[in-house]
A and B are shown apart, each in its own frame.
Chain A
Amino acid sequence: MLSRAARPALRAGAAVSSRAAAPGAATFATLREIETRLKSIRNIEKITNTMKIVASTKLNRAQRAMTESRGYGATSNEVFTNAETKPLEAEGKKKLVVVCSSDKGLCGGVHSGLARFIRRRSATEPEFDIVIIGEKAKAQLSRTNSKDIVLNFSGVGKDIPTFAEASAIADQITQLKGDYASVEIVYNKFINATSYEPTVIEAFSEEAILASPNFSAFEVDEEVLPNLREYALANSLYHALCEGHACEISARRNAMDNASKNAGEMISKYQILFNRTRQAVITGELVEIITGATASADM
Protein backbone atom coordinates (compact mmCIF):
# COMPACT_ATOMS: atom_id res chain seq x y z
CA MET A 1 0.00 0.00 0.00
CA LEU A 2 1.33 3.37 -0.92
CA SER A 3 0.84 6.15 1.54
CA ARG A 4 -0.50 9.40 0.24
CA ALA A 5 2.77 11.15 1.12
CA ALA A 6 4.84 9.04 -1.21
CA ARG A 7 2.51 9.13 -4.17
CA PRO A 8 3.29 12.55 -5.72
CA ALA A 9 7.00 11.87 -5.41
CA LEU A 10 6.55 8.56 -7.12
CA ARG A 11 4.66 10.13 -9.98
CA ALA A 12 7.35 12.79 -10.35
CA GLY A 13 9.98 10.07 -10.20
CA ALA A 14 8.35 8.14 -13.02
CA ALA A 15 8.34 11.30 -15.12
CA VAL A 16 12.04 11.79 -14.57
CA SER A 17 13.01 8.23 -15.42
CA SER A 18 11.18 8.48 -18.74
CA ARG A 19 13.02 11.69 -19.47
CA ALA A 20 16.36 10.20 -18.47
CA ALA A 21 15.80 7.36 -20.89
CA ALA A 22 15.39 9.76 -23.80
CA PRO A 23 18.31 9.12 -26.15
CA GLY A 24 20.74 11.87 -26.99
CA ALA A 25 19.42 14.24 -24.36
CA ALA A 26 21.86 16.45 -22.55
CA THR A 27 23.23 14.00 -20.02
CA PHE A 28 24.50 16.69 -17.65
CA ALA A 29 21.03 18.09 -17.11
CA THR A 30 19.47 14.70 -16.35
CA LEU A 31 22.28 13.92 -13.97
CA ARG A 32 21.52 17.10 -12.09
CA GLU A 33 17.82 16.30 -12.22
CA ILE A 34 18.28 12.84 -10.82
CA GLU A 35 20.41 14.27 -8.06
CA THR A 36 17.79 16.79 -6.96
CA ARG A 37 15.06 14.17 -7.15
CA LEU A 38 17.15 11.83 -5.05
CA LYS A 39 17.68 14.55 -2.50
CA SER A 40 13.98 15.33 -2.24
CA ILE A 41 13.08 11.66 -1.83
CA ARG A 42 15.68 11.43 0.91
CA ASN A 43 14.03 14.37 2.64
CA ILE A 44 10.62 12.76 2.37
CA GLU A 45 12.00 9.56 3.80
CA LYS A 46 13.50 11.47 6.71
CA ILE A 47 10.18 13.14 7.44
CA THR A 48 8.08 10.00 7.21
CA ASN A 49 10.59 8.11 9.28
CA THR A 50 10.50 10.74 12.00
CA MET A 51 6.73 10.75 11.97
CA LYS A 52 6.76 7.01 12.28
CA ILE A 53 9.06 7.14 15.28
CA VAL A 54 6.92 9.81 16.92
CA ALA A 55 3.80 7.75 16.28
CA SER A 56 5.46 4.62 17.65
CA THR A 57 6.32 6.31 20.90
CA LYS A 58 2.86 7.79 21.18
CA LEU A 59 1.25 4.48 20.34
CA ASN A 60 2.22 2.86 23.64
CA ARG A 61 0.66 5.63 25.68
CA ALA A 62 -2.38 5.77 23.44
CA GLN A 63 -2.96 2.05 23.73
CA ARG A 64 -2.61 2.16 27.49
CA ALA A 65 -5.12 5.01 27.63
CA MET A 66 -7.42 3.01 25.40
CA THR A 67 -7.35 -0.08 27.62
CA GLU A 68 -8.01 2.09 30.64
CA SER A 69 -10.83 3.95 28.92
CA ARG A 70 -12.49 0.68 27.95
CA GLY A 71 -13.15 0.24 31.64
CA TYR A 72 -15.13 3.48 31.69
CA GLY A 73 -17.18 2.50 28.69
CA ALA A 74 -17.81 -1.08 29.79
CA THR A 75 -18.69 -0.20 33.39
CA SER A 76 -21.14 2.49 32.46
CA ASN A 77 -22.73 0.21 29.88
CA GLU A 78 -23.06 -2.59 32.42
CA VAL A 79 -26.09 -0.87 33.89
CA PHE A 80 -27.77 -0.77 30.54
CA THR A 81 -26.96 -4.33 29.55
CA ASN A 82 -28.32 -5.54 32.90
CA ALA A 83 -31.37 -3.39 32.52
CA GLU A 84 -31.71 -4.61 28.93
CA THR A 85 -32.09 -1.10 27.66
CA LYS A 86 -33.03 -0.85 24.01
CA PRO A 87 -33.03 2.27 21.85
CA LEU A 88 -36.53 3.61 21.52
CA GLU A 89 -38.40 3.06 18.31
CA ALA A 90 -39.67 6.60 18.31
CA GLU A 91 -41.72 8.02 15.49
CA GLY A 92 -40.84 11.43 14.18
CA LYS A 93 -37.86 11.76 16.45
CA LYS A 94 -34.43 12.13 14.98
CA LYS A 95 -31.35 10.30 16.05
CA LEU A 96 -28.18 12.14 16.91
CA VAL A 97 -24.94 10.67 15.64
CA VAL A 98 -21.64 11.75 17.16
CA VAL A 99 -18.63 11.13 14.92
CA CYS A 100 -15.30 10.82 16.72
CA SER A 101 -12.43 11.62 14.39
CA SER A 102 -9.59 14.12 14.84
CA ASP A 103 -7.83 17.12 13.34
CA LYS A 104 -4.83 15.52 11.73
CA GLY A 105 -4.42 13.52 8.57
CA LEU A 106 -1.60 11.35 7.21
CA CYS A 107 -2.97 8.29 8.90
CA GLY A 108 -4.42 6.11 6.17
CA GLY A 109 -8.14 5.63 5.93
CA VAL A 110 -9.12 6.33 9.53
CA HIS A 111 -11.19 9.43 8.85
CA SER A 112 -12.54 8.50 5.45
CA GLY A 113 -13.65 5.15 6.89
CA LEU A 114 -15.83 7.01 9.39
CA ALA A 115 -17.13 9.41 6.75
CA ARG A 116 -17.99 6.53 4.44
CA PHE A 117 -19.80 4.77 7.28
CA ILE A 118 -21.93 7.85 7.94
CA ARG A 119 -22.66 8.39 4.27
CA ARG A 120 -23.73 4.81 3.81
CA ARG A 121 -26.07 5.06 6.75
CA SER A 122 -27.51 8.39 5.69
CA ALA A 123 -28.40 6.82 2.36
CA THR A 124 -30.32 3.94 3.89
CA GLU A 125 -31.69 5.29 7.16
CA PRO A 126 -34.12 8.07 7.99
CA GLU A 127 -32.58 11.45 8.59
CA PHE A 128 -30.38 11.98 11.58
CA ASP A 129 -28.42 14.89 12.93
CA ILE A 130 -24.65 14.80 13.12
CA VAL A 131 -22.22 16.10 15.68
CA ILE A 132 -18.64 16.01 14.45
CA ILE A 133 -15.55 15.88 16.57
CA GLY A 134 -12.41 16.69 14.58
CA GLU A 135 -11.59 18.74 11.49
CA LYS A 136 -10.96 15.86 9.12
CA ALA A 137 -14.39 14.29 9.33
CA LYS A 138 -15.91 17.76 9.19
CA ALA A 139 -14.15 18.51 5.92
CA GLN A 140 -15.34 15.25 4.42
CA LEU A 141 -18.90 15.24 5.70
CA SER A 142 -19.58 18.93 5.11
CA ARG A 143 -19.35 18.17 1.39
CA THR A 144 -22.15 15.62 1.41
CA ASN A 145 -24.12 15.88 4.64
CA SER A 146 -23.72 19.52 5.59
CA LYS A 147 -27.47 19.92 6.15
CA ASP A 148 -27.48 17.41 8.98
CA ILE A 149 -24.54 18.81 10.92
CA VAL A 150 -25.59 20.55 14.11
CA LEU A 151 -22.31 20.92 15.99
CA ASN A 152 -18.65 20.47 15.31
CA PHE A 153 -15.70 20.39 17.66
CA SER A 154 -12.04 20.82 16.88
CA GLY A 155 -8.85 20.70 18.86
CA VAL A 156 -9.63 17.28 20.34
CA GLY A 157 -7.20 14.43 20.02
CA LYS A 158 -3.96 16.37 19.75
CA ASP A 159 -2.88 14.40 22.73
CA ILE A 160 -4.53 11.57 24.59
CA PRO A 161 -8.15 12.56 25.21
CA THR A 162 -9.04 13.33 28.80
CA PHE A 163 -12.24 12.82 30.68
CA ALA A 164 -12.50 16.57 31.19
CA GLU A 165 -12.61 17.01 27.41
CA ALA A 166 -15.15 14.26 27.01
CA SER A 167 -17.45 15.65 29.66
CA ALA A 168 -17.15 19.19 28.27
CA ILE A 169 -18.21 17.88 24.87
CA ALA A 170 -20.99 15.84 26.45
CA ASP A 171 -22.23 19.02 28.14
CA GLN A 172 -22.50 20.79 24.82
CA ILE A 173 -24.26 17.83 23.25
CA THR A 174 -26.85 17.65 26.03
CA GLN A 175 -27.49 21.36 25.60
CA LEU A 176 -28.49 20.87 21.99
CA LYS A 177 -31.97 22.05 21.21
CA GLY A 178 -33.59 19.10 19.62
CA ASP A 179 -35.70 16.18 20.62
CA TYR A 180 -33.58 13.16 19.91
CA ALA A 181 -34.73 9.60 20.30
CA SER A 182 -31.23 8.39 21.01
CA VAL A 183 -27.59 9.33 20.70
CA GLU A 184 -25.16 7.13 18.83
CA ILE A 185 -21.43 7.53 19.06
CA VAL A 186 -19.48 6.37 16.01
CA TYR A 187 -15.80 5.69 16.47
CA ASN A 188 -13.04 3.49 15.12
CA LYS A 189 -12.81 0.28 17.10
CA PHE A 190 -9.27 -0.91 17.57
CA ILE A 191 -9.12 -4.56 16.48
CA ASN A 192 -5.39 -4.96 16.11
CA ALA A 193 -2.46 -2.83 15.05
CA THR A 194 -3.42 -2.94 11.39
CA SER A 195 -7.19 -3.10 11.39
CA TYR A 196 -9.97 -1.01 12.83
CA GLU A 197 -13.58 -0.57 11.93
CA PRO A 198 -16.28 2.05 12.47
CA THR A 199 -18.40 1.00 15.44
CA VAL A 200 -21.43 2.42 17.19
CA ILE A 201 -22.05 2.86 20.91
CA GLU A 202 -25.53 3.75 22.00
CA ALA A 203 -26.05 6.46 24.56
CA PHE A 204 -29.62 6.13 25.64
CA SER A 205 -32.17 8.83 26.23
CA GLU A 206 -34.03 9.02 29.51
CA GLU A 207 -37.20 7.60 28.05
CA ALA A 208 -35.26 4.64 26.73
CA ILE A 209 -33.67 4.04 30.11
CA LEU A 210 -37.05 4.27 31.82
CA ALA A 211 -38.61 1.94 29.33
CA SER A 212 -36.00 -0.77 29.76
CA PRO A 213 -37.45 -3.98 31.20
CA ASN A 214 -35.17 -4.58 34.17
CA PHE A 215 -34.45 -1.01 35.12
CA SER A 216 -36.63 -1.06 38.23
CA ALA A 217 -34.12 -3.44 39.83
CA PHE A 218 -31.68 -0.54 40.21
CA GLU A 219 -34.15 1.60 42.16
CA VAL A 220 -32.99 4.84 40.61
CA ASP A 221 -35.11 7.90 41.23
CA GLU A 222 -36.52 9.51 38.15
CA GLU A 223 -35.09 12.82 39.26
CA VAL A 224 -31.50 11.70 39.02
CA LEU A 225 -31.98 10.06 35.67
CA PRO A 226 -30.63 13.05 33.70
CA ASN A 227 -27.49 12.76 35.76
CA LEU A 228 -27.08 9.12 34.91
CA ARG A 229 -27.70 9.78 31.25
CA GLU A 230 -25.25 12.65 31.14
CA TYR A 231 -22.58 10.72 32.99
CA ALA A 232 -23.07 7.68 30.76
CA LEU A 233 -22.77 9.87 27.67
CA ALA A 234 -19.52 11.37 28.95
CA ASN A 235 -18.17 7.91 29.74
CA SER A 236 -19.04 6.51 26.35
CA LEU A 237 -17.59 9.57 24.65
CA TYR A 238 -14.37 9.23 26.60
CA HIS A 239 -14.10 5.60 25.62
CA ALA A 240 -14.82 6.37 21.98
CA LEU A 241 -12.33 9.25 21.85
CA CYS A 242 -9.55 7.20 23.42
CA GLU A 243 -10.11 4.23 21.18
CA GLY A 244 -10.31 6.44 18.11
CA HIS A 245 -7.09 8.15 19.16
CA ALA A 246 -5.27 4.85 19.53
CA CYS A 247 -6.53 3.76 16.09
CA GLU A 248 -5.36 6.98 14.53
CA ILE A 249 -1.89 6.76 16.01
CA SER A 250 -1.45 3.14 15.03
CA ALA A 251 -2.76 3.83 11.53
CA ARG A 252 -0.36 6.74 11.23
CA ARG A 253 2.50 4.54 12.33
CA ASN A 254 1.61 1.99 9.65
CA ALA A 255 1.13 4.60 6.96
CA MET A 256 4.46 6.22 7.74
CA ASP A 257 6.16 2.84 7.89
CA ASN A 258 4.88 2.10 4.38
CA ALA A 259 5.84 5.54 3.15
CA SER A 260 9.38 5.18 4.48
CA LYS A 261 9.67 1.75 2.89
CA ASN A 262 8.52 3.06 -0.46
CA ALA A 263 10.87 6.01 -0.22
CA GLY A 264 13.70 3.62 0.60
CA GLU A 265 12.93 1.55 -2.48
CA MET A 266 12.87 4.63 -4.64
CA ILE A 267 16.13 5.86 -3.19
CA SER A 268 17.94 2.65 -4.08
CA LYS A 269 16.44 2.67 -7.55
CA TYR A 270 17.47 6.25 -8.15
CA GLN A 271 20.91 5.68 -6.69
CA ILE A 272 21.54 2.97 -9.27
CA LEU A 273 20.15 5.14 -12.04
CA PHE A 274 22.29 8.03 -10.87
CA ASN A 275 25.46 5.94 -10.79
CA ARG A 276 24.81 4.50 -14.23
CA THR A 277 24.14 7.90 -15.73
CA ARG A 278 27.25 9.34 -14.13
CA GLN A 279 29.29 6.45 -15.48
CA ALA A 280 27.81 7.02 -18.92
CA VAL A 281 28.72 10.69 -18.75
CA ILE A 282 32.30 9.88 -17.76
CA THR A 283 32.61 7.29 -20.49
CA GLY A 284 31.28 9.76 -23.01
CA GLU A 285 33.79 12.37 -21.93
CA LEU A 286 36.65 9.87 -22.10
CA VAL A 287 35.62 8.85 -25.59
CA GLU A 288 35.62 12.50 -26.64
CA ILE A 289 39.04 13.14 -25.14
CA ILE A 290 40.60 10.03 -26.62
CA THR A 291 39.14 10.68 -30.06
CA GLY A 292 40.40 14.25 -29.86
CA ALA A 293 43.87 13.10 -28.78
CA THR A 294 44.19 10.43 -31.47
CA ALA A 295 42.93 12.83 -34.09
CA SER A 296 45.52 15.49 -33.16
CA ALA A 297 48.35 12.90 -32.79
CA ASP A 298 47.82 11.76 -36.38
CA MET A 299 48.30 15.21 -37.81
Chain B
Amino acid sequence: MKPTRYRTRENEHDEQEQGCYNRYIAVASRALRRSLKEDKRILAERRGESADIKFAKWSNGKAGETTTLSSANAAAAAENATSVPSS
Protein backbone atom coordinates (compact mmCIF):
# COMPACT_ATOMS: atom_id res chain seq x y z
CA MET B 1 0.00 0.00 0.00
CA LYS B 2 1.24 3.46 -0.75
CA PRO B 3 2.02 5.53 2.29
CA THR B 4 -0.76 7.88 3.19
CA ARG B 5 -0.20 11.57 3.59
CA TYR B 6 -2.17 11.85 6.76
CA ARG B 7 0.21 9.92 8.91
CA THR B 8 2.36 11.20 11.67
CA ARG B 9 6.03 12.06 11.34
CA GLU B 10 7.27 9.35 13.69
CA ASN B 11 6.59 6.37 11.46
CA GLU B 12 7.24 8.02 8.15
CA HIS B 13 9.98 5.54 7.25
CA ASP B 14 7.84 2.55 8.02
CA GLU B 15 6.40 1.74 4.59
CA GLN B 16 5.06 -1.74 5.18
CA GLU B 17 3.09 -0.92 8.29
CA GLN B 18 1.20 1.92 6.64
CA GLY B 19 -2.51 1.37 6.33
CA CYS B 20 -2.47 -2.21 5.12
CA TYR B 21 -5.56 -3.18 7.00
CA ASN B 22 -8.03 -2.76 4.15
CA ARG B 23 -5.74 -4.79 1.93
CA TYR B 24 -5.47 -7.38 4.64
CA ILE B 25 -9.21 -7.77 5.12
CA ALA B 26 -9.72 -7.87 1.34
CA VAL B 27 -7.27 -10.76 1.04
CA ALA B 28 -8.71 -12.55 4.05
CA SER B 29 -12.30 -12.18 2.87
CA ARG B 30 -11.38 -13.37 -0.61
CA ALA B 31 -9.77 -16.46 0.84
CA LEU B 32 -12.85 -17.09 2.93
CA ARG B 33 -15.20 -16.62 -0.02
CA ARG B 34 -13.24 -19.05 -2.13
CA SER B 35 -13.48 -21.74 0.49
CA LEU B 36 -17.27 -21.58 0.72
CA LYS B 37 -19.59 -24.20 -0.73
CA GLU B 38 -20.36 -23.90 -4.42
CA ASP B 39 -23.81 -22.30 -4.27
CA LYS B 40 -22.95 -19.79 -1.56
CA ARG B 41 -19.54 -19.11 -3.07
CA ILE B 42 -20.95 -17.77 -6.36
CA LEU B 43 -23.17 -15.29 -4.53
CA ALA B 44 -20.42 -14.25 -2.19
CA GLU B 45 -17.84 -13.82 -4.91
CA ARG B 46 -20.13 -11.55 -6.85
CA ARG B 47 -20.30 -9.40 -3.73
CA GLY B 48 -16.55 -9.29 -3.51
CA GLU B 49 -15.91 -7.88 -6.95
CA SER B 50 -15.30 -4.25 -7.65
CA ALA B 51 -14.21 -4.77 -11.24
CA ASP B 52 -16.36 -2.30 -13.14
CA ILE B 53 -15.58 0.78 -11.09
CA LYS B 54 -13.68 3.30 -13.13
CA PHE B 55 -11.94 6.38 -11.91
CA ALA B 56 -10.10 9.40 -13.23
CA LYS B 57 -7.72 11.80 -11.61
CA TRP B 58 -8.39 15.49 -12.13
CA SER B 59 -5.96 18.34 -12.24
CA ASN B 60 -6.72 22.00 -12.87
CA GLY B 61 -10.34 21.35 -13.69
CA LYS B 62 -9.63 18.71 -16.36
CA ALA B 63 -10.34 15.03 -16.05
CA GLY B 64 -7.36 12.77 -16.58
CA GLU B 65 -7.29 9.32 -18.05
CA THR B 66 -9.97 6.89 -16.97
CA THR B 67 -8.68 3.66 -15.51
CA THR B 68 -10.35 0.75 -13.82
CA LEU B 69 -10.07 0.82 -10.09
CA SER B 70 -9.13 -2.79 -9.55
CA SER B 71 -6.11 -2.63 -11.86
CA ALA B 72 -4.91 0.61 -10.28
CA ASN B 73 -5.23 -0.76 -6.80
CA ALA B 74 -3.47 -3.98 -7.75
CA ALA B 75 -0.65 -2.00 -9.32
CA ALA B 76 -0.32 0.20 -6.26
CA ALA B 77 -0.29 -2.84 -4.03
CA ALA B 78 2.29 -4.64 -6.12
CA GLU B 79 4.46 -1.55 -6.25
CA ASN B 80 5.26 -1.39 -2.59
CA ALA B 81 4.18 -4.67 -1.08
CA THR B 82 6.11 -7.61 -2.39
CA SER B 83 4.95 -9.65 0.59
CA VAL B 84 1.28 -9.28 -0.39
CA PRO B 85 0.34 -11.15 -3.57
CA SER B 86 -1.80 -8.96 -5.77
CA SER B 87 -4.26 -11.56 -7.02
Q: Which residues of A contact B (CB under 8 A)?
A: 142, 146-147, 149-156, 158, 162, 164-165, 167-172, 174-180, 205-207, 210, 222-231, 234
| A177 pairs with B5, CB closer than 8 A | yes
Whole-angstrom distance between the Cβ of A138 and the nearest chain B Cβ: 8
B58 smallest CB distance to A (angstroms):
4
Query: Cα distance A222–B14 when bound, in Å?
Result: 12
- 20 new A-B contacts at CB < 8 Å, known A164-B50, A230-B4, A230-B21: A146-B58, A151-B58, A152-B56, A154-B54, A155-B52, A155-B53, A158-B52, A167-B22, A167-B25, A171-B23, A171-B76, A172-B73, A175-B2, A176-B5, A207-B8, A222-B11, A226-B7, A226-B17, A226-B19, A229-B4
Interface size, B (range): 35 or more
Contact status of A155 and B5, CB under 8 A, knowing A147-B60, A168-B73, A230-B19 = no
B residues in contact with A156, CB < 8 Å: 53
In the complex, A177 Cα to B2 Cα: how many Å? 10
Residues of B contacting A147 in the complex (Cβ-Cβ under 8 angstroms): 60-61
Q: How far is the CA of A139 from the CA of B29 in the complex (A)?
A: 35
Q: Are A164 and B4 in touch, CB under 8 angstroms? A: no
Min CB–CB distance A220 → chain B (angstroms): 12
Q: Are A226 and B6 in contact (CB under 8 A)?
A: yes
Which one, B2, B6, B54, B61, contacts A155 given CB within 8 A? B54
**Smallest Cβ-Cβ distance to A160: which chain B residue:** B47
| Inter-subunit contact A168/B53 (CB<8 Å) | yes
Closest Cβ neighbor of B26 among chain A residues: A167
A73 vs chain B, min Cβ distance (A) = 16
**Quick one: closest A residue to B30, CB to CB?**
A164
Within B59-87, the residues touching A (CB, 8 Å) are 59-63, 66, 69-70, 72-73, 76
Pick 25 A–B contacts, CB within 8 A, sort by A: A146-B61, A150-B59, A152-B56, A152-B58, A153-B55, A154-B54, A154-B55, A155-B53, A155-B54, A162-B48, A168-B69, A169-B69, A171-B76, A174-B4, A174-B19, A175-B4, A177-B5, A178-B5, A180-B5, A210-B8, A223-B14, A225-B8, A227-B20, A231-B21, A231-B22
